Amino acid sequence: MKILLIGKTGQLGNSLIAINTKFEIVAPERSELDLESNEDCQRAINKHQPDLVINTAAFHNVPQCEKQSVRAFAVNCEAVRNLATLCKQHDIQLITFSSDYVFNGDKNSPYVESDQAEPIQMYGITRLAGELAVLTTAPRHAIVIRTCGLYGASGAVSKGGNFVDNRIADAESSTKMEMGCDQVISPTSASDLANAVFQLIENPEVKPGIYHLVNEGECSWYEFTKAIYELMNIVVELTPVDRKGMSGDMRRPLYTVLKNTKAAAIGITLPHWREALKRYLFSKYEQEINNN
């Protein structure tokens, strides 16, 4: 199977390439294939003739989506709709990604794939619009994967790295920190997500539609940060702060734990978040952990 990958420098795109052992992955540079350019996408499909397109590109800086809503819609909705149209025309399967932020966070129990989406900020609105656009345009060709709290070895450029690495960097300059305890999420390793994506591709029982793929379990950002420091043997005075989901004037959902039901029903699950975090830290910071 030949896969055309869009977004190879992101956390997930990087992980898909890093763990791949079975597929032929073609991953053009952004200068050659920009998701926002329908001409680039058409040219890449004509050139490489893929069996599957995986799109990991998105505008996912949540505060910036509030300020740049037109571009957020252009990337997260219009561009993926155009890509879905091309995939349908060429009879190519498409996998693209969405977010826990399509939910309002009021449920207080894990969200399943069939739960009603009700985003409360521009980022979530554009992500939901993208889901609807893709599944309406190419209902027999498209899979939308929702995930949550993603962190990977390459870090997110638009966010200045990933949450885990940034918290370790914070501890180098301060012994006292505050961290939000109001948001409860499913932090997810990009490597584990990439592995699950490949399992989906290979499973003949997989049907088009929406899937939730996250590491098992749940925690607040405060609890996640505390676990990072404990595993790293870093001593920090960490104080939980309840911001009630507010970032300035923008609301973030308080509870967006995702439950994997559809993929789990065919045997595809991800490890618990604590196991994933430990594996990530020991693979990247083994020397630092041993020295602390």
Whether 205 has a pLDDT exceeding 70, the answer reads: yes
* Residue range 81-125, pLDDT digits in tens: 999 999 999 999 999 999 999 999 999 899 999 999 999 999 999
Q: Are 153 and 15 in contact (CB under 8 A)?
A: yes
Residue 243 is assigned to a structural domain of this protein: no
Total structural domains in the chain?
1
pLDDT for the residue numbered 290: 85
* Residue range 163-191, pLDDT digits in tens: 999 999 999 999 999 999 999 999 999 99
Residue 75 is assigned to a structural domain of this protein: yes
The mean pLDDT of 136-159, rounded to a whole number, is 89
Whether 13 has a pLDDT exceeding 80, the answer reads: yes
Whether 272 has a pLDDT exceeding 90, the answer reads: yes
Nearest to 53 by CA among 69, 41, 40: 41
Whether 156 has a pLDDT exceeding 70, the answer reads: no
pLDDT for the residue numbered 131: 98
If you average pLDDT over every residue of the chain, what do you get? 96
* Percent of the chain surpassing pLDDT 90: 93
Residue 181 is assigned to a structural domain of this protein: no
Looking up residue 138, the CATH number of its domain turns out to be 3.40.50.720
Q: Retrieve residue 157's tokens.
A: 């450029």
Residue 179 is assigned to a structural domain of this protein: no
Domain range for 84 is 2-156+188-216+256-270
pLDDT for the residue numbered 288: 84
Residue 182 is assigned to a structural domain of this protein: no
E-strand spans in the chain?
2-6, 24-26, 52-55, 93-99, 142-147, 150-151, 176-180, 184-185, 188-189, 209-212, 219-220, 237-241, 246-247, 250-251
Q: Is the pTM of this model over 0.85?
A: yes
Q: Are 182 and 242 in contact (CB under 8 A)?
A: yes
Residue type, 181: C
Whether 128 has a pLDDT exceeding 90, the answer reads: yes
Residue 195 is assigned to a structural domain of this protein: yes
pLDDT for the residue numbered 157: 63
Whether 146 has a pLDDT exceeding 90, the answer reads: yes
Q: Retrieve residue 143's tokens.
A: 């899979």
Torsion of CA 23, 15, 207, 102, to 10 degrees: -160
* Residue range 207-249, pLDDT digits in tens: 999 999 999 999 999 999 999 999 999 999 999 999 999 988 8
The mean pLDDT of 239-265, rounded to a whole number, is 96
